[in-house]
């Protein structure tokens, strides 16, 4: 898989149990996708998914009682982790799962790392299917895809506030309409 | 004498037959929005209607904004999200063994397959070996579920085109499958029978003869359907040549499963990337090049016959596995046998720990894909090493199928739109998650 080293914006390659992960500089993800499609024959983009790593590993290590933020030990599964997970370069990862329609069904995950508000070039022009995938990740995770022809909310209402899949989005309550007006 | 392995036949772009049209029909500006052509923009003849969200033929709560010029569809955009329930967010707050109930509610017609993809993802992160009996039983149930899902497709989409008797016949056989699920798992739908590590319980004895009865009966039922539909003039008129999608457009739009195979792409994950024990069973992958509603119907009809064959082969194997373990023997992940709780302190501790705290899954990220009745169902899972998933994401085939609606419905009639939406077989729960 050394062919990936020629990919535009190539940062690193990590083998995984099901597919290799190729980290790409966020600004060049579009060129890297074109490279994957035209040079390496990944015909199909099956999925685009963003992950929020805010407070990743913040639970602390098991056996260490109490943290600065005051861990609630009575809450289930608050006993901390067995080892601290490896740190992530930035807050959000955006992963593109690609598939080549040929023998062996080779797959690859292209991954870009961004901070809050940092734009990612849209790949709708490379694969039209990414239209809704990108809109969904914008809607739920707040990733800004630059150059997307129609970057609007998809699953939530148009006037929804916040991005629900972010880790700092409050759970357990939502504003009830008309409740404060009489 | 050893035989040298045959050179693998490298297949690229496995496209069968001639495309239904040349070039691309994907809308230019936004791939999922069909814009009204400029010469009609100011026309008073163009009439905008809301098709749905509560329309009986949209298979749930799908809203299509349709611009009509007479009966012709000149503009189309889909609005989804009415059934968004935040499954992915909810699963982040549950321990893994509680999460298993959620994926099946996402695609509530192909529930066994969705349950499977999540369980497989967790097992791969845990590097857990699943006993053979569980693997074959999973395969059997998934194929029964595929038949069930295609029957729901066939019944409802025929009903929408006016063939009401099809609905009753399909639901007759669907009922038999649901009875089988109830026999095994105690639930007709949303069975939660797959457990991380294997199956939740052993297969009850009475299952084999009942399942055999169904397997023997089903080809006759399939013959009935074919007789009712396949020479029915109205059905053929309403489906042949309607809603075409070429192989190139289908690949660009990320279509998978029956929709892709009906566009002439010879691609099935069960064969290309075998999971469970699909490499040990014999089945054929039906492909039709026409790309229209009729081809999608034919692919699903043929698939049901093939699924029935797989179920038969699974039965032959599982019947000989009497007394074999049905779940892995890893006490850190799998609940101990109930009877041990009375005699073993360690078992009691394990039970308590797994139920209260949950089991821990090693740090990592994984994407697992299977061939669900609707196409590639994928599960992306990130674990931080704790007992709850850090991030779960489902790649839902219905979501992607709906993206193809404007391409298929282009230059069509409003009546065809119903046939097209039905033939893409999107389940709104799966689309909106």
Residue A109's φ and ψ, nearest 5 degrees, are: -115, 115
Both tokens of residue B297?
Answer: 């119907």
Residue at A142 is within a domain = yes
Provide the number of structural domains found in chain A: 1
Both tokens of residue B309?
Answer: 């064959």
Q: B86, A164: Cβ pair inside 8 Å?
A: yes
Q: A155, B80: Cβ pair inside 8 Å?
A: yes
Domain ranges of chain B: 87-432
Residue at A159 is within a domain = no
- Strands (DSSP E) contained in A78-157 are 92-99, 107-114, 119-121, 144-146
- pTM here is 0.89
Q: Is residue A54's pLDDT more than 60?
A: yes
**3-class secondary structure per residue, B302-319:** HHHHHHHHHHHHHHHHHC
CA angle A47, B431, B81 (to 5 degrees): 115
pLDDT tens digits along B63-106? 889 998 888 899 999 999 888 888 998 898 888 988 999 998 89
Residue at A167 is within a domain = no
Q: B367, A102: Cβ pair inside 8 Å?
A: no
Alpha carbon distance A76, B386 (integer Å): 12
Q: A105, B272: Cβ pair inside 8 Å?
A: yes
Residue at A163 is within a domain = no
Alpha carbon distance B369, B380 (integer Å): 9
- Which structural domain, as residue segments, surrounds residue A17? 2-53+88-146
Facing residue for A129 by CB, picked from B253, B269, B387: B253
Residues in chain A with CB shorter than 8 Å from the CB of B272 are 103-105
Contact B48, B65 (CB under 8 A): yes
Contact B362, B229 (CB under 8 A): no
Both tokens of residue B413?
Answer: 């009639």
Residue at A98 is within a domain = yes
CATH classification of the domain holding A48 = 3.30.460.80
Residue at A28 is within a domain = yes
State whether residue A108 is helix, strand or coil.
strand
pLDDT at B175: 93
Average pLDDT over residues A149-161: 88
Q: ipTM higher than 0.90?
A: no
Selected residue with higher pLDDT from A58 and B33? B33
Q: For residue B53, say if its preceding peptide bond is cis, omega within 30 degrees of 0.
A: yes
Q: Is residue A87's pLDDT more than 70?
A: yes
Residues in chain B with CB shorter than 8 Å from the CB of A79 are 357
A123's CB contacts (< 8 A; 6+ apart) are: A29, A30, A33, A45, A48, A96, A130, A134
The residue behind tokens 């990740």 is A137
Q: Selecting from 3.40.640.10, 1.10.645.10, 3.30.365.10, 3.40.190.10, what CATH number does the domain B87-432 have?
A: 1.10.645.10
Residue at A177 is within a domain = no
pLDDT band at A68 (very low <50, low <70, confident <90, very high): low
pLDDT at B5: 41
Residues in chain B with CB shorter than 8 Å from the CB of A125 are none
Q: Where are the alpha helices (DSSP H) in B161-206?
A: 164-185
pLDDT tens digits along B151-192? 999 998 888 888 888 889 999 999 999 999 999 988 888 888
* Beta-strand pair A107-114/A21-24: parallel
Residues of chain B with pLDDT under 70: 1-13, 56-58
Both tokens of residue A145?
Answer: 């895809």
Alpha carbon distance A130, B32 (integer Å): 10
Residue at A130 is within a domain = yes
């Amino acid at each position: 898989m050394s062919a990936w080293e020629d990919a535009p914006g190539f940062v690193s390659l990590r083998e995984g149990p099901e597919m290799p992960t190729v980290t790409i500089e966020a600004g060049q993800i579009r060129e890297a996708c074109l490279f994957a499609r035209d040079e390496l024959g990944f015909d199909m983009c099956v999925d685009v998914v963003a992950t929020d790593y805010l407070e990743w590993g913040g639970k602390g290590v098991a056996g260490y009682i109490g943290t600065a933020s005051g861990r609630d030990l009575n809450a289930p599964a608050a006993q901390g982790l067995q080892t601290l997970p490896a740190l992530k370069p930035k807050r959000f990862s955006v992963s593109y799962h690609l598939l080549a329609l040929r023998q062996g069904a080779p797959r690859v995950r292209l991954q870009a790392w961004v901070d809050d508000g940092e734009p990612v070039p849209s790949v709708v022009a490379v694969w039209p299917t990414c239209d809704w995938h990108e809109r969904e990740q914008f809607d739920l995770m707040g990733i800004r895809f630059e150059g997307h022809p129609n970057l609007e909310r998809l699953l939530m209402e148009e006037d929804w506030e916040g991005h629900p899949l972010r880790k700092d989005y409050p759970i357990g309550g939502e504003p009830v309409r008309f409740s404060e007006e009489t | 004498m050893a035989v040298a392995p045959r050179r693998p036949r490298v297949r690229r772009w496995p496209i069968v037959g001639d495309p239904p049209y040349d070039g691309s029909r994907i809308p230019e500006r936004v791939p999922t929005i069909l814009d009204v052509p400029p010469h009609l923009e100011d026309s008073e003849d163009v009439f905008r209607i809301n098709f749905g969200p509560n329309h009986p033929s949209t298979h749930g709560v799908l809203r299509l904004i349709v611009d009509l010029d007479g009966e012709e569809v000149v503009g189309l955009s889909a609005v989804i999200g009415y059934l968004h329930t935040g499954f992915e967010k909810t699963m982040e707050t549950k321990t893994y063994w509680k999460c298993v109930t959620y994926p099946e509610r996402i695609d509530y017609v192909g529930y066994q397959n969705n349950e499977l993809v999540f369980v497989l993802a967790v097992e791969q992160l845990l590097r857990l070996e699943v006993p053979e009996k569980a693997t074959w039983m999973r395969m059997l149930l998934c194929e029964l579920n595929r038949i069930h899902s295609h029957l729901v497709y066939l019944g409802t989409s025929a009903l929408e085109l006016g063939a009401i008797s099809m609905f009753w016949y399909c639901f007759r056989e669907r009922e038999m499958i649901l009875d089988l699920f109830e026999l095994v798992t105690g639930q007709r739908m949303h069975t939660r029978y797959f457990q991380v590590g294997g199956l939740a319980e052993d297969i009850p004895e009475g299952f084999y003869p009942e399942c055999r009865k169904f397997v023997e009966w089903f080809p006759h039922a399939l013959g009935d359907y074919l007789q009712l539909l396949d020479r029915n003039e109205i059905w053929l008129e309403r489906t042949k040549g309607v809603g075409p999608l070429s192989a190139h457009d289908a690949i660009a739009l990320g279509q998978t499963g029956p929709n892709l195979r009906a566009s002439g792409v010879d691609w099935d994950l069960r064969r290309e990337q075998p999971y469970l024990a699909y490499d040990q069973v014999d089945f054929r992958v039906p492909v039709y090049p026409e790309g229209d509603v009729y081809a999608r119907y034919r692919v699903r009809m043929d698939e049901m016959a093939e699924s029935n064959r797989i179920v038969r082969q699974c039965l032959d194997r599982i019947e000989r596995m009497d007394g074999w373990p049905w779940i892995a023997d890893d006490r850190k992940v799998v609940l101990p046998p109930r009877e041990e709780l009375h005699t073993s302190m360690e078992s009691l501790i394990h039970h308590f720990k797994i139920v209260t705290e949950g089991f821990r899954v090693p740090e990592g990220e994984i994407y697992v894909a299977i061939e669900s009745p609707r196409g590639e169902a994928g599960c992306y899972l990130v674990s931080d090493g704790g007992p709850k998933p850090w991030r779960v994401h489902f790649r839902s085939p219905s979501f992607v199928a709906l993206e193809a609606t404007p391409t298929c419905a282009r230059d069509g009639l409003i009546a065809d739109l119903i046939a097209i939406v039905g033939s893409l077989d999107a389940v709104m729960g799966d689309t909106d998650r």
